[in-house]
Structures are given as C-alpha cells and as structure tokens.
Amino acid sequence: MNQNDLLNTTSATIHEARQEMANLLEARPANYSLPQPLYNDPQMFRVDVEEVFQKEWLFVGMSSEIPARGDYFTVEVAQNPVLVVRDADGSINAFHNTCRHRGSRVCTEHRGKVANLVCPYHQWTYDLKGNLLFAGTEMGDSFEQQEHGLKKAHCKTAGGFVFVCLGKEEPEGDFDEFLTTLEEYMEPYDVENTKLAVESNMYEKANWKLVIENNRECYHCAGNHPELLNTLLEWDDTNDPRASEEFKEHYATQSAEWDAEGIPHEHQSFGPGLRNRIVRMPLKKGTKVMTLDGEAGCKKLLGRIKNPQMGSMRILHLPNSWNHMQSDHFIVFRVLPISAQESIVTTKWFVHKDAVEGVDYDPARLRQVWDATNEQDRILGEENQRGINSIGYQPGPYSESFEFGIVNFMEWYSETVQQNLKKR
Ligand code: 3BY
Ligand code: FES
Ligand code: FE
C-alpha cells in the first residue's frame, strides 16, 4: 500500500463515518438512548471530535486560576493540546499548544508561570500574544519570523468562566447572550478574588456522552449518592412538577431573601436543548452548602455574599460542563473526551482568595461529597459503557419526568452535529 492508498482509505472511512452518523441521528427516536456505535465506535468518535469538540465553545477553566501576567494552564481537547495564558494587559488568550517550528508542545506542564513561551525542543520563543520573538540564528535569510506566531484559538471569558473554540470560525448562535447573563449571575461571587483550593482529575472508561447523560438526570441519585443527597434536591428546576408543598414554601422563603439582597436566581436558558442554562436552586432545608453535614466548607463567604444560604446556582454548558456555585465555595466540572470509550472529568473547588488553608477551610472536607459522588458516577458510567458494548444492547426509553435533561442534551447534540455536517 503506498502513501496515497493510505490517505484514500482514511478519507473514505471518515467520509463514510460522517454519512453513517448523519443517518443514525436522522433516524434516532428523540426519547431513546443512542444506537451503540455512537457510544463506542472509534470512527463515530472521530466525527464527535470534528463536529463538536473542534467546532463548539468548550469550558476550559476559571480566570482566577491564572490571576497574573504569564500564568497559564494547558488542556487537551481530544488530541489537541491547548494553552490558556494571561497577557500583560490582563486579557486571557488561548493558543494551539503546538510550536510553529516542528510542532512540539510548547508548554508541557499542567499549569505554570512564564515570562515568554519557550518551546523545550529548540527554544523558539513566543511572547504572551503568541508572536514569535526568537528563532535562533539558524533559520536562514528567507525565514519570515512574523509568519510563525502561535495559532490562536477563539477565547471568551464571562463571570470568570473561560471558554475556547478550536473552530476556524466561531459557531453561530446565542452564546454571547448566555455570556451576558452569566456575567450578571456571577457578579455576587467576584471570581477574580477567588483561588483554586483543590482539584481532581478522574479518568473514566466511558464515552463522553455517557458522562453528560449521567449528570443530566437524578433518577440514579437515590440509589447511588447518599452523601450528595444530604444537601442536594433531586430535581433540576424550581418549577419541577414533583416539587412538594414543603419545597415550594422553602423556595418562597429563600428566593425572597435572595431578592432582598439583589441575588439573581431565576431560570435562564439559551440555545437548542437548553444548551446553556443557569438556575439557582435551594439546597435541602436546614443545609447551607454541599458538604457532608451541610455546614460551611469555608469560613469566608465569596464576593458580596452575606447569606450563607445561597442554595446552589447550577450552570450548565453543553457539551462539557456543569457547575455548583454556593455561598462559601464553588465547584466547576469539565468533561473532555480521550477516545470513544475514555473521558477525563476534572473537578475544581474554589474559595475566597484570602481564605487560609487549615484555618478557614480544610480541602479534605471541601472535596468529600463530590469525590464520593464522582467515584459513584464513574462506576455507573463504566458499567453503562460495558453494557452498551454488548451485542444484546438495544436503545432504551428515557423517563419523561426524571430524564428530560438527557432528552434536551440529545436534542442539542443531534441538532449541532447534523447542522455542522451539513455545512461541510
Ligand atoms: O450535577 C448535579 O448536581 C447532579 C448530580 C447528579 C445529577 N445531577 C443533576
Ligand atoms: Fe519548537 Fe523546534 S519544535 S523549537
Ligand atoms: Fe450522579
């Protein structure tokens, strides 16, 4: 087989995979789980990467992780290394973390601080805006230094959330409207004055969509999450039809307090399948935050917050993030795909930047509930994947009352992939 045959084989396969994906999504019943290949086939995974992770807005981290000039973090979006760095003017930029010489990763650490970005291979040096400053003396007279800057990725920040988009163009849609609302809802938390208290990176042998599906329903909570259910209410919105009279009273009291303090709480959603959504939900009566006993996780409240009972402001961003904002700490979650049957779930806990570890907060206490919950969800996701791999697997129905969040996710996923495929 010569080089051309190889290329032809590959492109024919991916072309077929795109067609197959379009057919499967077209034929999919809206309230059933997906056909097997969409959860385990490497070629279908490749289409997911091309049409979702290399084109859509993704949550990558918080601005307060890189508070000063030259602070950076790196992230891998499938096989794409990405670098997010704070510039001297305070702005945050994202680059493809691949050197314009022969392609080495430039920043190799998970996070760090630099004056300039220096490639470890042959020391090509870029400034924080990605301009190539120095390429040694060996590149010859015809070498155009200014043509060899790092490639930029689209990057937007709102309310402390940093999003990147690896597509050539930004996707169409109402993302900016979501960002405006996010900024407004996040104002009380003053994210710039927070710091990362603790982080976990969990490897999960499951397709990324199974991780998101699991998060979009609490049908599994009663049977699996005793720690989480000490404080979390099982429904996802304040107007859930299952809400009891007791909940309605509790919500009325809480929301009146929030209104009095000018704390936003009403449900807002954007895009197909409620792709981006924000709602503040009360926690269980008598609890303050998502710790094991529902008592404070940190002695310092965030931003301008005075009331320890802020409930949890839940922020969803499809395809890869859900979040819980509370009075004294907030927790962000990020899912990134590795392969058809592998994902990585990153969880980060933030506290006030002046809070002192061991005095105001104990990281071990802070992380207890979600460490337990993540581990329980990892096992559920992996068992889900193993069962789906069976020749006996057949797509099954979602519950209308408990799994509407998955129906929404699938609506967004299906519409996005189909539209992106059509635009090719
Ligand atoms: O994100 C949450 O809080 C929960 C965990 C399980 C279901 N999901 C809505
Ligand atoms: Fe970066 Fe050579 S690959 S300097
Ligand atoms: Fe769960």
Peptide bond into 397 cis (omega under 30): no
Confidence grade of residue 28 (pLDDT, cut at 50, 70, 90): very high
377 C-beta closer than 6 A to ligand 1: no
CA of 121 to the centre of ligand 2 (A): 5
User: Residue 323: nearest ligand to its CA?
Assistant: 1
The CATH number of 1-56+173-423 is 3.90.380.10
CA of 215 to the centre of ligand 3 (A): 6
- Say whether pLDDT at 7 is over 90: no
Q: What CA–CA distance (Å, rounded) separates 234 from 216?
A: 11
Q: What is the pLDDT of residues 230-257, one digit of tens each?
A: 999 988 888 888 888 999 999 999 999 9
Query: What is the pLDDT at residue 237?
Result: 83
Query: What is the pLDDT at residue 136?
Result: 85
Query: What is the pLDDT at residue 10?
Result: 61
CA of 337 to the centre of ligand 3 (A): 18
- Say whether pLDDT at 2 is over 50: no
Q: What is the pLDDT of residues 34-48, one digit of tens each?
A: 999 999 999 999 999
CA of 95 to the centre of ligand 2 (A): 16
In the chain, how many H helices and how many E strands? 9, 17
Confidence grade of residue 215 (pLDDT, cut at 50, 70, 90): very high
263 C-beta closer than 6 A to ligand 1: no
On whether the CB atoms of residues 145 and 100 are closer than 8 A, the answer is no
* ipTM associated with this complex: 0.93
Q: Which segment of 56-65, 207-216, 241-250, 311-320 scores lowest on mean pLDDT?
A: 241-250
Higher per-residue confidence, 5 vs 152: 152
Q: What CA–CA distance (Å, rounded) separates 252 from 244?
A: 12
CA of 106 to the centre of ligand 2 (A): 8
Q: What CA–CA distance (Å, rounded) separates 83 from 94?
A: 6
On whether the CB atoms of residues 218 and 236 are closer than 8 A, the answer is yes
125 C-beta closer than 6 A to ligand 2: no
Of the CATH numbers 2.102.10.10, 3.30.960.10, 1.20.1740.10, 3.10.20.30, which one belongs to the domain with range 65-165? 2.102.10.10
b or e along 156-176 (b: 16 or more beta carbons within 10 Å of the residue's beta carbon)?
Answer: bbbbbbbbbbbbeeeeebebe
Range 275-297 average pLDDT: 97
Q: Where are the domains of the chain?
A: 1-56+173-423, 65-165
Range 305-327 average pLDDT: 98
On whether the CB atoms of residues 120 and 103 are closer than 8 A, the answer is no
On whether the CB atoms of residues 233 and 239 are closer than 8 A, the answer is no
122 C-beta closer than 6 A to ligand 2: yes
Q: Which segment of 29-33, 127-131, 226-230, 245-249 scores lowest on mean pLDDT?
A: 245-249
- Say whether pLDDT at 274 is over 50: yes
Range 140-168 average pLDDT: 97
Which among 333, 409, 413 has a CA at the least distance from the CA of 378? 333
- Sort residue 271 into left (φ over 0), alpha (ψ -120 to 50) or beta: left
Q: Which residues pair with 331 in a beta bridge?
A: 324, 349
Range 261-288 average pLDDT: 95
Range 106-115 average pLDDT: 98
User: Residue 283: nearest ligand to its CA?
Assistant: 1
Q: Which residues contact 238 (CB under 8 A, 6 or more apart)?
A: 251, 255, 267, 279, 281, 282
Q: What are phi and psi of 362, to 5 degrees?
A: -120, 115
Confidence grade of residue 9 (pLDDT, cut at 50, 70, 90): low
